Chains A and B, each alone.
Chain A
Amino acid sequence: MSPLLTVEDLRVSFPTRTGLVEAVRGVTFSLGRERLGIVGESGSGKSQTGRAIMGLTPPHAKITAKTLNFDGIDLLKASPAKRRDLRGDRVAMILQDPKYSLNPVMTIGRQIVETLRTHRKISSSEAKERALAMLEAVQIRDAGRVFDLHPHEVSGGMGQRAMIAMMLIAEPELLIADEPTSALDVTVQLDVLAILDRLVAERGMGLIFVSHDLRLVSSFCDRVIVMYAGRIVEEIAAADLRNARHPYTQGLLSCMPEIGQDRHPLPVLDRKPEWAL
């Protein structure tokens, strides 16, 4: 079976006044219909990797890759219109904070319907029906009421469920979740993750789960990529994370608190300059 997504030597760089800033420097991985976690600290290039696959890199940035292939489509050669057609339809992305990533002046229902009607020729009543079904699928009770609410009238957890509904309604094959639970309360995080988990499994999507939360990623994904300074420093099965070889990954792991153990003083993360080379 050929993989859903093949990324080989992906590079994203931003020209700035002080020179070229390389956010992603040669990332290679492939993804089937599985869950891949990408972890790393801020600025490690994990989000930019996701955005490059989506085609949402700012226009002034430079993207190069040996291969950037989604289901047989060469994304680098595809026209902007072709890539736009893919977005929301076959490849979708969930953003971090529903407070900012939902349009504040549009009702939740209209925003969900909009995705569907951009990609499918269906009547507005049918679109509404499917949006209501989708809201129920993300476990929103009283979907009819929430449909007519504005984003500021719902809680963060509810907003993120609406976001998931908005991005999954056209049934994409690949979902990129960019820190989907980082802005939520811890108690709500698990609910939202459970919903995401179920939908990904039911629909057989490929998932790229971008996060800085190593523990979350390891419990949620099949495979984990650890990024540092724009490069992949380690790729490992989530179950094997304890046996990580790279000192950076080991450093991240040893910072995690554990009940019944004294982690005092907290180890300082090692950042050897040669890893960034």
Chain B
Amino acid sequence: MTLPETSQMVAGRSKGARARGRAAIVVRFLVVIVTTYLGLLAVTFFIGRVIPIDPVLAVLGDRAPAHVVERVREEMGLNLPLYQQFLRYLGDALQGNFGTSVLTTNPVMTDIRRVLPATFELATLGTLIGSLIGVPLGVLAAVKRGSLIDQAVRIVGLIGYSVPIFWLALLSLLLFYAQLRWVAFPGRIDVVYEYTFTPKTGLFLLDSLWQGQWDVFRDVFRHIILPASLLGYVSLAYISRMTRNFMLNELSQEYIVAARAKGLSETRIIWCHALRNAAVPLVTVIALSYASLLEGSVLTETVFAWPGIGLYITNSLQNADMNAVLGGTIVIGSIFIAINILSDILYRTLDPRTRAR
């Protein structure tokens, strides 16, 4: 019999091929990252040049004498050929140097380090709320398709993505802050704590927990819970809808009939078989929704006076602070790329069919 040999050969070959396949995937990932990043930088650079704002004028104001203007222009490298300007820009950007914000007079990177954790904390909590409630709701709606529960989830979702968020935000503030006093005033933290509490990472919930300052934690929680719930609600609307669709698709597959024929309980079929398969496309949906929250939700941040990156970029834009705007755009772009890669990796671990063979 030659068959055992053949199967061993197949196994041996597939092991080598597997390593090669993995290397190829890593290389492909790197190429995608580098080209996307270059594209991002090129676009922001050209937007910066095309926009009718004179960076020299923005720094000096319109009363500076002509020779000063000329000197500053030279210092900023604005009289160099365009490609040299781009290379300089590239070098600076790769070092995280996006220039100085005219508005705050800080280096843009310092500002971003301050505002990004605020948005990150809010977006993460929002996404957690959205998926931890949205996924089970979607599963329930799919399993009880056409029932009252399904209709209720549909209506909750419809409200979530058709009602403007600032309106919901104002109304919820009116109810939960002004009337019920359940949550705190807009802002990240009470003025009382602003000087006694020194955050390390900028994620206030974690920092206060780490330092064991329970009263601060409680205060921070009372501040973040309402905006996070609102963002969570909006992503829940989308996530539950998509979960329902993915689940309906999986539940109509033949392997579900086979699972029933094996005598498995409905609970096991729904949560271990169908949802495990639906999780594959769901990862992308949740990641995209998370990324869009990380951009900074300007409306929510405005209503809740949340010092996040959305508010920062909007303010900078309104004040023609181009360094801050472009720097912020690049940071958000990088986050977007990172989330995409993460969701891609997760997708591959969840679905054996996409793994290198």
Instruction: Judge whether B350 is part of the interface by a CB distance below 8 angstroms.
Output: yes
Question: Nearest A residue to B146 by beta-carbon distance?
Answer: A60
Report how far A115 CA is from B259 CA in the complex, Å: 9
A84-B263, A142-B7 are known contacts. Are A105 and B258 too (CB-CB below 8 A)? Answer: no
Q: A100, A102, A118, A150: which contacts B263 (Cβ < 8 A)?
A: A118
Does A56 lie within 8 Å of B260, measured CB to CB? Answer: yes
B residues 309-357 with Cβ under 8 Å of A? 350-353, 357
Instruction: Judge whether A231 is part of the interface by a CB distance below 8 angstroms.
Output: no
Interface segment among A85-93, A190-198, A222-230: the answer is A85-93
12 contacting pairs across A/B (C-beta < 8 A): A56-B257, A84-B264, A87-B262, A96-B254, A100-B254, A101-B258, A104-B277, A104-B351, A104-B352, A115-B262, A142-B4, A142-B11
Does A150 lie within 8 Å of B353, measured CB to CB? Answer: yes
Mark contacts of B229-273 with chain A using CB atoms, 8 A cut-off: 1 yes-contact digit, 0 otherwise.
Answer: 000000000000000000000000111011111111100000001
Question: Nearest B residue to A93 by beta-carbon distance?
Answer: B261
- Say how far B263's CB is from chain A's closest CB, in angstroms: 3
Question: Nearest B residue to A87 by beta-carbon distance?
Answer: B263
Instruction: Judge whether B3 is part of the interface by a CB distance below 8 angstroms.
Output: yes
Does B253 lie within 8 Å of A84, measured CB to CB? Answer: no
Does B253 lie within 8 Å of A100, measured CB to CB? Answer: yes
- Say how far A86's CB is from chain B's closest CB, in angstroms: 7
Does A152 lie within 8 Å of B352, measured CB to CB? Answer: yes
Instruction: Decide if the interface of chain B is mainly helix, strand, loop or mixed.
Output: helix
Does A105 lie within 8 Å of B4, measured CB to CB? Answer: no
Does B3 lie within 8 Å of A101, measured CB to CB? Answer: no
Does B259 lie within 8 Å of A105, measured CB to CB? Answer: no
A97-B254, A103-B277 are known contacts. Are A89 and B263 too (CB-CB below 8 A)? Answer: yes
Instruction: Judge whether A141 is part of the interface by a CB distance below 8 angstroms.
Output: yes
The 6 lowest CB-CB distance pairs between A and B, nearest first, are A88-B263, A87-B263, A100-B254, A88-B262, A150-B352, A93-B261
Instruction: Judge whether B280 is part of the interface by a CB distance below 8 angstroms.
Output: yes
Within 8 Å CB of A92, what residues of B?
A: 261-262
Does B255 lie within 8 Å of A100, measured CB to CB? Answer: yes
Does A115 lie within 8 Å of B263, measured CB to CB? Answer: yes
Question: Nearest A residue to B7 by beta-carbon distance?
Answer: A142
Report how far A167 CA is from B263 CA in the complex, Å: 10
Instruction: Judge whether B276 is part of the interface by a CB distance below 8 angstroms.
Output: yes
Within 8 Å CB of A39, what residues of B?
A: none
Report how far A105 CA is from B357 CA in the complex, Å: 15
A85-B263, A118-B263, A142-B7 are known contacts. Are A102 and B277 too (CB-CB below 8 A)? Answer: no
Report how far A150 CA is from B276 CA in the complex, Å: 14
Within 8 Å CB of B276, what residues of A?
A: 103, 105-106
Report how far A209 CA is from B164 CA in the complex, Å: 59
- Say how far A90's CB is from chain B's closest CB, in angstroms: 9
Report how far A93 CA is from B258 CA in the complex, Å: 8
Question: Nearest B residue to A100 by beta-carbon distance?
Answer: B254
Mark contacts of B1-35 with chain A using CB atoms, 8 A cut-off: 1 yes-contact digit, 0 otherwise.
Answer: 00110010001000000000000000000000000
Does A102 lie within 8 Å of B265, measured CB to CB? Answer: no
Does B357 lie within 8 Å of A153, measured CB to CB? Answer: yes
Report how far A114 CA is from B259 CA in the complex, Å: 9
- How many chain-A residues does the 8 Å CB contact rule pick out? 33
Instruction: Judge whether A163 is part of the interface by a CB distance below 8 angstroms.
Output: yes
- Say how far A174's CB is from chain B's closest CB, in angstroms: 12
Within 8 Å CB of A114, what residues of B?
A: 262, 264
Known: A56-B261, A114-B264, A166-B258. 7 other contacts (CB 8 A): A84-B264, A88-B262, A95-B254, A100-B253, A119-B263, A142-B11, A145-B7
Question: Nearest A residue to B280 by beta-carbon distance?
Answer: A105
Instruction: Judge whether A208 is part of the interface by a CB distance below 8 angstroms.
Output: no
Report how far A105 CA is from B277 CA in the complex, Å: 7
Report how far A93 CA is from B260 CA in the complex, Å: 10
- Say how far B22's CB is from chain A's closest CB, in angstroms: 16
Does B4 lie within 8 Å of A95, measured CB to CB? Answer: no
Report how far A31 CA is from B350 CA in the complex, Å: 44
B residues 96-119 with Cβ under 8 Å of A? none
Within 8 Å CB of B11, what residues of A?
A: 142, 145
- Say how far A28's CB is from chain B's closest CB, in angstroms: 24
A residues 109-158 with Cβ under 8 Å of B? 114-115, 118-119, 141-142, 145, 150, 152-153
Does A95 lie within 8 Å of B262, measured CB to CB? Answer: no
B residues 271-325 with Cβ under 8 Å of A? 273, 276-277, 280
Report how far A84 CA is from B264 CA in the complex, Å: 7
Within 8 Å CB of A118, what residues of B?
A: 262-265
A residues 218-257 with Cβ under 8 Å of B? none
Within 8 Å CB of B260, what residues of A?
A: 56, 87
Does B3 lie within 8 Å of A141, measured CB to CB? Answer: yes
Mark contacts of A164-179 with chain B using CB atoms, 8 A cut-off: 1 yes-contact digit, 0 otherwise.
Answer: 0011000000000000
Does B258 lie within 8 Å of A95, measured CB to CB? Answer: yes
- Say how far B257's CB is from chain A's closest CB, in angstroms: 6
Report how far A131 CA is from B255 CA in the complex, Å: 19
- Say how far B347's CB is from chain A's closest CB, in angstroms: 12
Within 8 Å CB of A88, what residues of B?
A: 261-264
Report how far A242 CA is from B254 CA in the complex, Å: 36
Question: Nearest B residue to A103 by beta-carbon distance?
Answer: B255
Within 8 Å CB of A102, what residues of B?
A: 255, 258
Instruction: Judge whether A205 is part of the interface by a CB distance below 8 angstroms.
Output: no
Does A101 lie within 8 Å of B262, measured CB to CB? Answer: no
Instruction: Judge whether A52 is part of the interface by a CB distance below 8 angstroms.
Output: no
Does B261 lie within 8 Å of A167, measured CB to CB? Answer: yes
A56-B257, A84-B265, A142-B4 are known contacts. Are A104 and B353 too (CB-CB below 8 A)? Answer: yes
Within 8 Å CB of A214, what residues of B?
A: none
Does A87 lie within 8 Å of B4, measured CB to CB? Answer: no
Within 8 Å CB of B253, what residues of A?
A: 100
